[in-house]
Structure 1
C-alpha cells in the first residue's frame, strides 16, 4: 500500500502545486528535502567513517532511486492483486536452446 500512496502523493502534490501556481514553492520544498538528505548523509558518512564521495549520491537517491523503487513496487502490487504469475521463462529458454543446438548439428 505504501508505494502506491507515495507515487500517488508525488503526482497529486505536483499537479495541485502546478495548477495553483505554486510550482516555485514546490521547487524550494524539494531543494530543502534534498539538502536535508545531504546533511543526513554527511552525518552518517562521518559517523561510519566512510568516504565523503558517497554524500552526493543522496541527490540521486532523492530524485531517482526512491521514486523508481516505489513505481516498481506499485507494478508488483498490481500484478499480485491481478494474480499474475511470476515466471522467468527459464524452462522455455532451456528447451529453445536445446532445440537450437539440435538444429545446428
Structure 2
C-alpha cells in the first residue's frame, strides 16, 4: 500500500466515524404519561394484598402496566398473583396459577 492509499484510507475512515457520530446523536428524554411514578408505595400494596390473603407470604413484586393502568404485581407463595392499582391501592385483578397435575386424567400423564 503506497502513501496515497494510506492517506485516502485514513480520510475515508475519518469521514465514516464523523458521519456515524453525527447520525446517531443521543436524544433527550421526553416526559410521558406512561412514565409516571406510583402514588402508592410497594409496602402499602403488599399490606393490602396480605390483608386480603391471610396466611400468604409475598415472594415477588413488580411495578408494571396492566391493562393501561400502572399496577403493582405481587406474587404470593400460594401460586397467586395479585394486581394492585398503584394510584388507588385497590386490588384490580387476582390470578391463580394452574397446577396441571391436579387435573384429573392429565395429572396421570405428567412425570414427577
Structure with greater proportional strand content: 2
Structure with greater proportional helix content: 1
Q: TM-score, normalised by structure 1?
A: 0.23
Q: TM-score, normalised by structure 2?
A: 0.22
Higher relative contact order by CA 8 Å / sep ≥ 6: 1 or 2? 1
Question: Rg bigger for which structure?
Answer: 2
